[in-house]
Amino acid sequence: MTAAPQTPVHQPPGVRPARLRLGLTQFGTSFLVLVLLTLIGCVNYDLSLGYGLTFLLAGVWVVAAAQALQAARRLRVSVSAPAEATAGQDARFTLRVSAEGRGLPLAVIATTTQGDTRYLNARVPDGEALNLSLRVPARVRGPLGLSGLKVGALDTLALWQVNLTAPALPSVLVQPAPEEGAPPAPPRVQGGPGDGGRRTAGDEEFSGLRPYAPGDSPRQVSWRHVARTGTLLTRETDAPLGSATVLDWEDTAGAGELEARLSRLAAWITQLRGGQRPFALNLPGETLSAGSGDGHAQGALNALARFTPLPQPPERREHRTSPPVPLSAGPMRATLLALAFALAPAALRQPWWITALIVGLLLHTDWRVGRGREPLPTWGLGLVAGLSAALLGGTYGTLLGRDAGTALLALLAALKTAESTTRRDANLLVLLGLFVTSTQFFFSQGPLTALHTVLAAWALLAAAARWTVPAAPGQDAPQGEVLAQVGSVLALAAPLALTLFVLFPRPAGPLWTLALQGQATTGLADEITAGEFSDLAQSRAVAFRADFQGPVPPPEQRYWRGPVYEAYDGQRWGQVRQNSASASIDFTGPVWSYTLTLEPTSSPWVPALDVPARLPEGTFLTTGFQAVSLRPLTTRRRLTLESRTARLGIRENEDRLRFDQSLPPGESPRALALAAAWRALPPEDRVGAGLDFLRGGGFSYTLSPPRLPERNRVDAFLFGSRQGFCEHYASAFVFLMRAAGLPARIVGGYLGGEQNPDGGYLIVRQQDAHAWAEVWLPGQGWVRVDPTALIAPARVNAGLQTALTSPQATVAPARSPLARLQLRLDGVQSRWNDLVIGYDDLRQQQLLGWLGLGGVGSPAYLLALPILLLLALLPALWLRRQLARPRDPAARALHDLSVRLGVPRGPGETASAYALRVRQDRPHLSAGLDELVRAYHAARYAPPAPGARGRNEALVALKSALRRIRR
């Protein structure tokens, strides 16, 4: 019996698998977890700008899915088996892939019938077909096929993968490996009569044409017939049958076991094939007649490959995921630079040794990867992490606070670079960088922070894109091109991020309570000592902004009431809690309506003018007429209040009045004796006597007073140094009033505020922190007395800086150009606070009501939300559709024709071959297709005609021919 050569089964050119299966990659799943974690943090800590970053990353995640789906629809795949394969070597299957329009990254997973799995990453070039060599092990002889083939189209960042399963999978017969050092073939020959008798296959004379079979030599192909008919034909030749070697199964008895005997026969066939000598083959149950040439030899080897029993391939345990991909210098350097940029703002607030350690680790990693050195040992990195954590805990007192926690997180990210060895590690560095970037919002949510956040996310995502398909050394994609691709993804994600920012439900309170331990920014503490407010006066940081709905109060009425200090031990003034009924409030003056934008602080005080007549939800008024928030103001808050001047505490609790006259025994006897002499005077005259003493005592206003002793501090100030700041004067005056028999206390808060002409609001800074006195007078209640205004009137009328240089000034000097610029920048910051930072649950409810959507969860809201989200995705869908079109105008016209007709082109299919295939199903389009093909060739290949406008006219003719073709 004669066996014909085995023809591999292969997929027809240009097949596009119909099934599209969208799935997350490992990096995409981790990316989604990061988005959820940052969202939870934003909800709990009310980080409005954090919502922006979170929704931008979520938009990238969604746009990447659309990108992967669109890329998969443009994909054309065909696969073919090798002409032959030998056991013990790799069989090279050929995967031909093309994509209409722009190129795209691919991930290929192939499984074989012999139990192996192979992974391959590649990138399809723009508008070209790519032939990928898929090398799979041929472990044993016999049939070897692809039991599974998944071609995954990836997005730019490799967050998503759309798997396409090829409908037809090829196979090849794996031939036995020829025996090394095999003895010569036996001398058994088969004779023939020579010329005029029987003939056999040979290379001497032409005998006819037959269809092309894989393995035929290109020299035997009749290219003349190929050019005329488009069909591959092979010339057959023969020669007189002389003597042919006969290879018999029995001749291999001395070789050993079955596979060894087949290997010896394969060696003999290879020897005879190389010498172009004819041979015959006798196997148990199968005989090949004498012949020669490549086709005859391949048929004999295939007969050996099919010989039964077939061997079983060894069992192999394959991983379900792709093997680790080692680091390459170019993408790793981009990752390190992006991570360094993300960590840079932390250098302004964390200990210097943390910054130095991070810089050293990043530089070492760049040096190590560039030279292929081993990573630092894990035990050494663990030791560094442990020591650093201990030092940070000692510096900040805890590792759970904001400052220590973010510093430790930045260090851990740098330590991770030192042990990174694979692409998975690099992807983890990208995620760590994004998470560290989100922690910047605990410190600032200003426009500069927003700009840095976007740029850091852009750089980190561009670094992730460099890892999508690792290039060969020296062939990395240009960084500018990668940045442009990632920038387009961010731009397409922006509409979705904005829609989510506006419509995503904002909870009214945190999910759990965990204070962010950090330094207070308002300067109003639970207790004060001498020097407390003078320290705050050194800072120009903004405490809050006040935007009035109407005229701004004059400077002498800008007393922003804060904590009330009533308990005195000789050194400190502290607050007390009274369980008595609230004192009376008799409103007398006009109403001031204003909105406070409070900077973050660890205290709950809400500074208010005079007495609040209306408080916002979540706040209350204490018995000391102090506005307090129910939860600490750990994030920037906007509160709307109404205040009025009033007579406070005309009906006051007697126990409180007695407490506010108490003094520690034996403290400051000279001041006690001075004030005791005033007890006989009427209450108003006692206040006047105290002010007259300060007015005529040669006192001065300074931020650097002499240090006061621990005992008899009031005596040392009134009769000694006579230099001090507001808390010195308030403390001494309250002491004198209590010694004179009047209830008195200290009120802390802020005084003044700088009006910004660009917006008309007041800016109250930390340096405006102030302390004044309140004295209770019969029939008048608590009366505000500011002894500092007596010593330095400019403190009330002109501000702190003017009071330090010209205490008696009545107006502030003209602003410098730099000060005016600072006010304009603050105006930008204020509008940013209103639109972005201050967008909370209340503002959202107001906006939804104005849009007619009701509240969150209403039917109108639930109906509008998916519609608006879909509209936000339309730019991404439209642009991705445009990217599917080739860049070349002529090729783009041919692509538009395939879309219009619904007949996709195959990989590498020419315009003429495509038109011929379409014409067979739609003959009525023949004339239009011929015209279009001629115009396409003229536009794509022909030189410009003399005297014409060149290719532009050819393109116009091509577009005109395209318009005339209809389905």
The domain spanning residue 80 has which CATH number?
A: 2.60.40.10
pLDDT band at 951 (very low <50, low <70, confident <90, very high): low
Residue predicted with more confidence, 194 or 599? 599
Q: Please tell me the predicted confidence (pLDDT) of residue 68.
A: 83
The burial class, CB within 10 Å (0-12 / 13-18 / 19+), for 689 is middle
Checking if the pLDDT of 884 tops 50, the result is yes
* Cis, peptide link before residue 904, omega less than 30° from 0: no
Is the same domain home to 19 and 152? Answer: yes
Look at the block and give the residue holding tokens 């500074």: 607
Q: Is residue 180 part of a domain?
A: no
Query: Among the ranges 198-207, 216-225, 662-671, which has the highest mean pLDDT value?
Result: 662-671
* pLDDT 10s digits, 509-554: 666 655 554 443 445 778 887 655 555 566 778 889 999 998 888 8
> Rounded to an integer, what distance in angstroms lies between the CA atom of residue 508 and that of residue 530?
39
> Rounded to an integer, what distance in angstroms lies between the CA atom of residue 42 and that of residue 635?
11
Is the same domain home to 553 and 641? Answer: yes
Identify whether the C-beta of residue 517 lies closer than 8 Å to the C-beta of residue 401. Answer: yes
Checking if the pLDDT of 197 tops 60, the result is no
Q: How many domains, the chain?
A: 5
Here the tokens at position 281 are 């083959």
> Rounded to an integer, what distance in angstroms lies between the CA atom of residue 282 and that of residue 279?
10
Checking if the pLDDT of 301 tops 70, the result is yes
* pLDDT 10s digits, 578-620: 776 778 888 888 899 999 988 878 788 899 998 898 888 888 9
Residue predicted with more confidence, 432 or 805? 432
Is the same domain home to 269 and 398? Answer: no
Residue predicted with more confidence, 14 or 371? 371
Is the same domain home to 897 and 929? Answer: yes
Average pLDDT, integer, range 791-804: 74
Q: Is residue 311 part of a domain?
A: no
Checking if the pLDDT of 907 tops 60, the result is no
Residue predicted with more confidence, 627 or 839? 627
Q: Is residue 633 part of a domain?
A: yes
> Rounded to an integer, what distance in angstroms lies between the CA atom of residue 58 and that of residue 56?
5
Identify whether the C-beta of residue 496 lies closer than 8 Å to the C-beta of residue 64. Answer: no
In the chain, the percentage of residues whose pLDDT exceeds 90 is 21
Computed over every residue of the chain, the mean pLDDT equals: 81
* pLDDT 10s digits, 358-381: 999 999 999 988 888 888 888 888
Is the same domain home to 647 and 707? Answer: yes
- Backbone phi and psi for residue 151, each to the nearest 5 degrees, phi listed first: -105, 110
Q: Which residues, including other chains, have CB under 8 Å from residue 182's CB and lie 6 or more apart? A: 263, 264, 267, 268, 271
Checking if the pLDDT of 775 tops 50, the result is yes
SS3 165: strand
Residue predicted with more confidence, 803 or 481? 481
Q: Classify residue 521 by its DSSP letter.
A: S
| CA–CA distances in Å: residue 205 to residues 218, 241, 272, 338, 461 | 17, 13, 20, 70, 66
In the chain, the percentage of residues whose pLDDT exceeds 70 is 84
Checking if the pLDDT of 473 tops 50, the result is no
Beta bridge partners of residue 749, listed in sequence order: 561, 770
Angle CA 324–329–332, to nearest 5: 70
Checking if the pLDDT of 196 tops 50, the result is no
Q: Is residue 513 part of a domain?
A: no
Is the same domain home to 784 and 907? Answer: no
Average pLDDT, integer, range 120-143: 81
Q: Can you give the C-alpha Rg of the chain in angstroms? A: 43
Alpha-carbon torsion 217, 221, 227, 230, what sign? negative
Q: Distance between alpha carbon 65 and the CA centroid of its chain, in Å?
A: 15
Here the tokens at position 837 are 């930072």
| CA–CA distances in Å: residue 181 to residues 90, 263, 267 | 22, 11, 9
Please count the CA atoms within 13 angstroms of the CA of 696 that sit on its side-chain side.
5
> Rounded to an integer, what distance in angstroms lies between the CA atom of residue 242 and that of residue 197?
10
Run of H or E residues at 759:
none
SS3 146: strand
Q: Is residue 221 part of a domain?
A: yes
Is the same domain home to 287 and 351? Answer: no
Lowest mean pLDDT among 12-21, 229-238, 345-354: 12-21
> Rounded to an integer, what distance in angstroms lies between the CA atom of residue 752 and that of residue 773?
16
| CA–CA distances in Å: residue 840 to residues 43, 56, 884 | 10, 18, 41
Q: Please tell me the predicted confidence (pLDDT) of residue 339.
A: 94
Here the tokens at position 599 are 């900077």
Checking if the pLDDT of 151 tops 60, the result is yes
Catalytic residue numbers read 726, 770, 786
Can you point out the beta strands (E) in 284-392?
A: 286-291
Q: Could you say which of 449, 465, 481 is where a domain stops?
A: 465
Is the same domain home to 709 and 604? Answer: yes
Average pLDDT, integer, range 195-211: 56
Between helix 859-883 and helix 48-73 the angle, nearest 10°, is: 50
Look at residues 906, 882, 883 and name the one whose alpha carbon lies nearest to residue 97: 906
Beta bridge partners of residue 199, listed in sequence order: 240
Run of H or E residues at 238:
strand 233-240
Angle CA 447–853–41, to nearest 5: 40
Here the tokens at position 607 are 């500074």
> Rounded to an integer, what distance in angstroms lies between the CA atom of residue 616 and that of residue 607?
13
Residue predicted with more confidence, 808 or 255? 255
Average pLDDT, integer, range 725-750: 93
Between helix 669-676 and helix 726-739 the angle, nearest 10°, is: 60
Residue predicted with more confidence, 384 or 167? 384
Q: Is residue 627 part of a domain?
A: yes
Identify whether the C-beta of residue 935 lies closer than 8 Å to the C-beta of residue 916. Answer: no
> Rounded to an integer, what distance in angstroms lies between the CA atom of residue 489 and that of residue 63?
7
Q: Please tell me the predicted confidence (pLDDT) of residue 478.
A: 65
> Rounded to an integer, what distance in angstroms lies between the CA atom of residue 106 and that of residue 118?
14
pLDDT band at 803 (very low <50, low <70, confident <90, very high): low
Run of H or E residues at 960:
helix 951-963
* Domain assignment of residue 299, given as a range: 189-306
Is the same domain home to 645 and 754? Answer: yes
Q: Please tell me the predicted confidence (pLDDT) of residue 658.
A: 92
| CA–CA distances in Å: residue 348 to residues 352, 355, 443, 614 | 9, 9, 11, 41
Look at residues 482, 437, 421, 412 and name the one whose alpha carbon lies nearest to residue 34: 437
pLDDT band at 474 (very low <50, low <70, confident <90, very high): very low
Tell me the pTM.
Answer: 0.73
Q: Is residue 315 part of a domain?
A: no
Is the same domain home to 161 and 34? Answer: yes
Q: Is residue 423 part of a domain?
A: yes
Q: Which residues, including other chains, have CB under 8 Å from residue 25's CB and lie 6 or more apart? A: 154, 158, 159, 160, 161
Q: Please tell me the predicted confidence (pLDDT) of residue 687.
A: 94
Q: Please tell me the predicted confidence (pLDDT) of residue 3.
A: 37
Is the same domain home to 365 and 291? Answer: no
Q: Please tell me the predicted confidence (pLDDT) of residue 922.
A: 81
Q: Classify residue 780 by its DSSP letter.
A: T
Is the same domain home to 49 and 163? Answer: yes
Here the tokens at position 10 are 């292969």
Run of H or E residues at 154:
strand 142-154
Checking if the pLDDT of 574 tops 60, the result is yes
> Rounded to an integer, what distance in angstroms lies between the CA atom of residue 549 and that of residue 555?
17
Euclidean distance between the first and final Cα of the chain, in Å? 53
